[in-house]
Structure 1
Amino acid sequence: MNTQDNGSKLYLYSIVCVAVLGGLLFGYDTAVISGAEKGLQAFFLGAPDFVYTDMIHGLTSSSALIGCILGSAISGLLASRLGRKKSLAIAGVLFFLSALGSYNPEFFFFDYGQPSLSLLVAFNVYRIIGGIGVGLASAICPMYIAEVAPSNIRGTLVSWNQFAIIFGQLVVYFVNFLILGDHTNPVIERIGETLYAVHPSSDPWTIQTGWRYMFGSEGFVALAFTILVCFVPESPRYLALTGKDTKALYVLTKINGSKAKEILHEIKNTVTVKSERLFSFGVMVIFVGVMLSVFQQAVGINAVLYYAPRIFDSMGMGNPMVQTVIMGVVNILFTLVAVFTVEKLGRKPLLIWGSFGMAIGAFGVAISNIVEVHPLMPVISIMVYSAAFMFSWGPICWVLISEIFPNTIRSAAVAIAVAFQWIFNFIVSSTFVPMYNMRAGDMGESFGHVFVYALYGAICILAAWFVYALVPETKGKTLEEMSALWRNREKKHHKIR
């Protein structure tokens, strides 16, 4: 209902929808590699001037994450200097440039269709540019949503950003499936410890063209996001922090109605804090934010998402692209569980339950590689692992990162936390293939399959303990109340010492 007293829900939801489109691009860009990586590998295996090894492929598949680290690291500076809105517009432009460059990395400098070391470098540069956009969007989209949303529905609205991320991954799984069509992924044969070759029977279209269409398809969404973000308002909390109280009150009134002046007063009270140093509220708030990001990636989820078709292919359960799409649908459904329960159940219970659910799924995959079981068991275990992440660490980590930091340090603190997230995303994604392919004794290649999932399962258990022991429950608290929460924790810490 849209009234002067309550504010306009339509206005709020429309600007949140634009912001979550940045989350959709985030998911699209990070998951597009899942369908394209085999064709890309086959293409560069044909390079005459260098040997495209297993390790190089892992780094190439993960190169966008280098940009994500850079983008998230500078997100705080851009969000503080230029504002949330302009920073998101920059992210949109970077997404668009990356899509075009990844589609045609030969542009201007190289002969089309001729793989080489220089072309590989150019391709990775374009992927890094897109990664910078992802890094910016990953930090600023949830921050923007949290700063415009009323406290009673903030968790739900920020969770929609994660839904958009997963929906973007599902969309790109489906787009990749449609692009592949009647064509087949190339067959890659191992010819040495870390060396591979393309089987002569492989479809040449997927090697030369298919992966290009997959990367290029992102350009349409990126262009739409860049245009739409020009029409949303700046975050009212950023406006208040920069002394633009009249504009802040206007936006707050449209969203919150008659409560706008009271909310602006609370915001201005936090702005009067004299010290705005990063550790003004103690070390623990930064530590908790950073470790939330670290655990979200260390549990190994993105290794599964990026290499889903390859993993399902190794399990011998039919068309791996179809199974990847099914997993995307499961992910969407379980993300909705978080969206509709985060304000009722709270952040901590969902994180703890999800951690144990992921551990069960990860250990299930590990056990499936030790004892002989039906191929359906590891597939179901992967689905359980992924579904548990989607109702817990996927959305709830972003909710907490967007809301646990006090107003005066939010930009810088979110930037640091998200930078750590992408650093560990890169570590996990670039090490997954080498660990997955490790061999040892009689177990052969299955040793790596057991080791990597047992490791992720153990980290899930550790993550559950961390949440139980150190993470505060933020359900129902305003962003301004977080300042008092961390002040009180810091005072108690000093008294104990």
Structure 2
Amino acid sequence: MTQTQTQGSKSFILSITLVATLGGLLFGYDTAVINGAIEALKVFFVTPLQTDNALALQVLGEYKIIISLCFIVVSLLVSSFMFRMYGKTKGMIYSALVIIIGAVIWYTQFWVSVNEISENTLNSINGFTISSAIIGCIIGGSIGGYVSQNIGRKRGLVLAAVLFTISALGSAMPEILNFFGASTISSFIFYRIIGGIGVGIASMLSPMYIAEIAPANIRGKLVSGNQFAIVFGMLIVYFVNYFIALSGDDNWLNEIGWRYMFASEIIPALFFLVMLYFVPETPRYLIMKSREEEAEGLLNKIVGTSKAPQLMIDIKESLKEKNAPWLTFGGLIILIGVLLSVFQQFVGINAVLYYASEIFRNMGNDTDTSLLQTILVGAINLIFTVLAIFTVDKFGRKPLMIIGGVGMGVCMFALGAAFYFNQLGLVALFAMLGYVAFFAMSWGPVTWVLLSEIFPNSIRSAMSLAVAAQWIANMMVSWTFPMMNDNSWLTAQFNHGFSYWIYGLMGILSAIFVWKIVPETKGRSLEDMQKLWKK
């Protein structure tokens, strides 16, 4: 018997996890493609509303309907989480409370107040158009647990790849593929939401797939590889957007160029779809579905024939309560999962990644220079993500998260001060790059490692709640950033610096949260985590 047979094949593990990380690459590609098109989308979709009253009234009506439908969908998803956590009786009571409170806020703060095209309304429509994919991400992240349990990890990723492809086509040609009789902007939003559902599913299933395939001693490194793929996808699309922008002037970019940016996603989406044909399902899902012979053969390849029998026993034991309520291990694990996700977004990373070109324009740069500097942001993101990959299994999860949280807080306070005092030279640039570096070495990849590790097998689908919370927080940050950044009063008072101070405070709070509450998961098997939470 060869050493590979007794210890498992590293080349086999690496090859199938590389395919899974393509889901992360498309996650990064789809979320960052908007960066190069922000100004173009504003000019193409939002600016005409200031002069065309009939169009403005139509768009305003559709906007209110879309937001209302999104509210209903998110409310139903939150209700489903309540039932999974508290059971039928309590779940019904808590769901009713959430829906009533949400309905009051929706009616008083949105439906009644948004009735005319004002500066705030235009900023809100612009922010929602840019961040609309995140509504899909919330849906995709919420149903990720259901998808993973019912059609499997692999076929869930296939579904995500199909949705990526549809979104790329529809976002690039919202007029031609407008089958709804609605305005063009509503058609564009619909296809961005479709792509967001794919992102939400992939954001959960890619790290889950890798975590269930990877041996414990290299799991942190391989799951961090998913974050590397995310930021690599972002870097690729930054280059794509830059070279597309060079192909014409601003008028061409505002009319035609942005379409090529979204259409470019078709290539990696189809490649991902084809490559998924060659990877297996995860052993834990196979055992869950009583396909034990397939699972045993796969485990022999992953961990070797010497360890596979015991791992089979451990997995079976952990899956005895495969439909266990999410609060089986108490509420702390759910709280930790949700807060990890929320803090990852509340530190403001997607305000930087989505609006990097806009931030650089606020520093006084033209479009081409802004997009070129955005590539620098992507490169820093990639370099420091690699640093995290090579340190997460050595130093542990908690030290990296604490250092990263403090570092991000300091850099965001510095960036806000640079805007406030109008010192928008190297100080602002280095503060922004430093912030991205600290995020990339900590909260970017390590959050996904922790989320893939802390949930025991019997409540693994509870990860969907954490992922949904992450996308809701992402939506809040992405939607509110242009509302804060473009608000006349806030700009007059803080000179675009206000939002960065908010993100800086969140960075400090995130470090305190990890220091006080989050357990270290370094070196523990997924089955060990179940024993930890039982204690």
Give secondary structure in 1 for the equivalent of 2:176.
coil
* Superposition deviation, residue 438 in structure 1: 3.0
* Superposition deviation, residue 436 in structure 1: 1.4
Does residue 154 of the first structure (1) align with residue 219 of the second (2)?
Answer: yes
Cα distance in 1 for residues equivalent to 2:418 and 2:151: 51
Cα distance in 1 for residues equivalent to 2:287 and 2:166: 33
Give secondary structure in 2 for the equivalent of 1:237.
helix
The runs of 5 or more residues in structure 2 that have no matched partner are 57-116
Residue 433 (structure 1) aligned to one of 465, 469, 482: 482
> CA 1:468/1:127 → structure 2, altered by over 3 Å: closer, same or farther?
same
Contact 1:317-1:376 within 8 A present in 2 as well: no
The runs of 5 or more residues in structure 1 that have no matched partner are 185-202, 489-497
**1:11 equivalent in structure 2:** 12
Residue 223 (structure 1) aligned to one of 248, 266, 270: 270
Does residue 418 of the first structure (1) align with residue 419 of the second (2)?
Answer: no
Cα distance in 2 for residues equivalent to 1:108 and 1:353: 47
- Alpha-carbon deviations, 1:121-165, whole Å to 9, x = none? 111000000000000000110000000000000000000000000
Amino acid at match of 1:172: V
* Superposition deviation, residue 342 in structure 1: 0.3
Contact 1:146-1:403 within 8 A present in 2 as well: yes
Residue 175 (structure 1) aligned to one of 229, 234, 240: 240
Cα distance in 2 for residues equivalent to 1:482 and 1:255: 20
* Superposition deviation, residue 317 in structure 1: 5.0
Give secondary structure in 2 for the equivalent of 1:281.
coil
Return structure 1 stretches of 4+ with deviation > 6 angstroms.
Answer: none
| TM norm structure 1 | 0.90
Contact 2:320-2:458 within 8 A present in 1 as well: no
Cα distance in 1 for residues equivalent to 2:144 and 2:274: 20
Does residue 482 of the first structure (1) align with residue 483 of the second (2)?
Answer: no
Cα distance in 2 for residues equivalent to 1:359 and 1:274: 40
> CA 1:211/1:460 → structure 2, altered by over 3 Å: closer, same or farther?
same
Contact 1:43-1:208 within 8 A present in 2 as well: yes
Query: Percent identity of the aligned residues?
Result: 50
Cα distance in 2 for residues equivalent to 1:450 and 1:394: 23
Cα distance in 1 for residues equivalent to 2:3 and 2:18: 18
* Superposition deviation, residue 379 in structure 1: 1.1
Give secondary structure in 1 for the equivalent of 2:420.
coil
Does residue 122 of the first structure (1) align with residue 169 of the second (2)?
Answer: no
Contact 2:345-2:477 within 8 A present in 1 as well: yes
Select the structure that is richer in helix.
2
* Superposition deviation, residue 5 in structure 1: 1.1
Residue 327 (structure 1) aligned to one of 354, 360, 377: 377
- Trace 1:333-344 onto structure 2 (pairs within 5 A): 333-344=383-394
Contact 1:143-1:402 within 8 A present in 2 as well: yes
- Alpha-carbon deviations, 1:201-226, whole Å to 9, x = none? xx321121111000000011001111
**2:251 equivalent in structure 1:** 204
Amino acid at match of 1:132: I
Does residue 393 of the first structure (1) align with residue 440 of the second (2)?
Answer: no
How many residue pairs align between the two structures? 463
Moved more, 418-427 or 267-276: 267-276
* Superposition deviation, residue 3 in structure 1: 1.3
> CA 1:170/1:445 → structure 2, altered by over 3 Å: closer, same or farther?
farther
Residue 252 (structure 1) aligned to one of 282, 299, 302: 299
> CA 1:262/1:38 → structure 2, altered by over 3 Å: closer, same or farther?
same
* Superposition deviation, residue 55 in structure 1: 1.4
**2:25 equivalent in structure 1:** 24
* Superposition deviation, residue 109 in structure 1: 4.2
- Alpha-carbon deviations, 1:442-494, whole Å to 9, x = none? x8446162221111111111111100111000000000001111110xxxxxx
Cα distance in 2 for residues equivalent to 1:180 and 1:262: 56
> CA 1:299/1:204 → structure 2, altered by over 3 Å: closer, same or farther?
same
Contact 1:39-1:208 within 8 A present in 2 as well: yes
Residue 356 (structure 1) aligned to one of 406, 419, 440: 406
- Alpha-carbon deviations, 1:44-82, whole Å to 9, x = none? 123531168221110000000000000011110010011
| TM norm structure 2 | 0.84
- Alpha-carbon deviations, 1:149-206, whole Å to 9, x = none? 000000000000000000000000000001111534xxxxxxxxxxxxxxxxxx3211
**1:345 equivalent in structure 2:** 395
